Structure 1
Amino acid sequence: MKDILVLYYSRHGATRELALAIAQGIDSVPGVQARVRTVPPVSTVCEATQPDIPESGPPYAELRDLEECAGLALGSPTRFGNMAASLKYFLDGTTPQWLSGALAGKPACVFTSTGSLHGGQESTLLSMMLPLLHHGMLLVGIPYTESALATTQSGGTPYGASHFARAGAAANGISADERTLAIALGARLARTASMLNERP
């Protein structure tokens, strides 16, 4: 059984919902399973610390999770059109894995959540791809053969799964289309990892 790492940061829960839907898609493919991990928040206060184990949800990621995975789904809320500092901080510590080529040739996908419809979904997804390309990963997106991509009235892009949270409104869970696309992306990532692992 090969593990696909679903690594995300979530502040209000929407990115976590997408992560769980992607994990559902991964788990639907025989021979692979999702390993869900998160990262702790970054504080501007030097003395601030987080417990070694989060109070709820998945464990914090370790660098060995990257080394052991057969593929990676990377998710973050949008911060001014870019990934959250907490996720970037974790990725900035992956130089040993870059030097060793631990992620080279493995498939990856990205996902995000934004407070407004034009709040930087696509630029965030694209910015999250950059470190993955430096690591030599193979990026997969959502093709238009997924019919929900052409009909969604909320999130969803060919670059990766996304959620439109409507900032200032009551908390909105991911829509049916957003969930469908996230599950499809997870399954596509898992199938790609399986095919790559079958090659000699």
Structure 2
Amino acid sequence: MAKILILYYSRDGSTARMAQQIGRGVESVAGAEAVLRTVPEVSAVCEKIADSIPDAGASYATLQDLETCDGLALGSPTHFGNMAASLKHFLDGTTALWFSGALSGKPAGVFTSTGSMHGGQETTLLSMMLPLMHHGMLLMSLPCNEIALRETVSGGTPYGPSHVADNDTELTEHEKRLCWVLGERLAKTALALRAK
């Protein structure tokens, strides 16, 4: 089985819903498994993080989850055009994986949710790509011939799936489709790389 890690931070549930849709895309591919993980919230007052087990939802990610995955989808809400501090805090702790090259050559993609149109989706997606490039990952985008990407009037960019919450955490059909497409592409690519 190709294990695709869907690692995300979600405060209000929108990014978590996107992660679930990406997981459905992953698992639509025979031989692929979606593994959903989140990161704890980091206090703005100090560096204390939340309890080691979340109250609900996905388990917290470990470095071993990253090391053993065959592909990665990384997601965060947009905070002023950048990824959330909680996700950045987790990524800042992956230096040992960088030294070992554990993520090098694995496919990766990014996704985000914003509270409004033009809320910084594309800069957030690009900011999440930077650490993945430093790790030597192979970045996956959404294909330009994907109809949902051309028809969407809410979220969706060539850089990765996005969602415009606008006080509503429900994903549109186009947004769901784009999440599904990213999951499918990551799974197919991971399986093709494993076959080599």
Q: Fold-level match, TM-score > 0.5?
A: yes
Q: Residues 2 and 187 of structure 2 are in contact (CA less than 8 Å); yes or no, is this contact kept in structure 1?
A: no
Give CA deviations for 1:68-126 in whole Å, capped at 9, x if unaligned. 00000000000110000000000000000000000000000000000111010000000
Task: Say which of 167, 172, 181 aligns to 2:169.
Answer: 172
Kindly state the Cα deviation for residue 46 of structure 1 after the two structures are TM-superposed.
3.3
Q: In structure 2, what residue type is equivalent to 1:26?
A: V
Matches within 5 A, 1:100-179: 100-166=100-166, 169=167, 171-179=168-176
Kindly state the Cα deviation for residue 49 of structure 1 after the two structures are TM-superposed.
4.5
Structure 2 gap segments, 5+ residues each: none
Matching of residue 195 in structure 1 with residue 186 in structure 2? no
Taking the aligned partners of 2:165 and 2:49, their CA distance within structure 1 comes to: 29
Normalised by the length of structure 1, the TM-score is 0.95
Taking the aligned partners of 1:49 and 1:182, their CA distance within structure 2 comes to: 29
Q: 2:4 is paired with a residue of what secondary structure?
A: strand
Kindly state the Cα deviation for residue 50 of structure 1 after the two structures are TM-superposed.
2.0
Q: 2:41 maps to which residue?
A: 41
- Distance change (3 Å), C-alpha of 1:188 and 1:47: closer
Q: 1:3 maps to which residue?
A: 3
Give CA deviations for 1:114-155 in whole Å, capped at 9, x if unaligned. 011101000000010000000000000101221110000110
Taking the aligned partners of 2:72 and 2:46, their CA distance within structure 1 comes to: 31
Q: 2:36 is paired with a residue of what secondary structure?
A: strand
Q: 1:82 is paired with a residue of what secondary structure?
A: coil
Q: Residues 40 and 49 of structure 2 are in contact (CA less than 8 Å); yes or no, is this contact kept in structure 1?
A: no
The alignment-based identity, stated in percent, is 61
Kindly state the Cα deviation for residue 63 of structure 1 after the two structures are TM-superposed.
0.3
Give the count of matched residue pairs.
196
- Distance change (3 Å), C-alpha of 1:164 and 1:103: same
Q: In structure 1, what residue type is equivalent to 2:178?
A: L
Q: In structure 1, what residue type is equivalent to 2:132?
A: L
Q: Residues 42 and 50 of structure 2 are in contact (CA less than 8 Å); yes or no, is this contact kept in structure 1?
A: no
Q: 1:36 is paired with a residue of what secondary structure?
A: strand
Q: 2:79 maps to which residue?
A: 79
Kindly state the Cα deviation for residue 165 of structure 1 after the two structures are TM-superposed.
0.9
Normalised by the length of structure 2, the TM-score is 0.97
Q: CA RMSD in A?
A: 1.1
Q: In structure 2, what residue type is equivalent to 1:183?
A: W
Q: In structure 1, what residue type is equivalent to 2:66?
A: L
Taking the aligned partners of 2:47 and 2:135, their CA distance within structure 1 comes to: 32
Structure 1 gap segments, 5+ residues each: none
Q: In structure 2, what residue type is equivalent to 1:161?
A: P
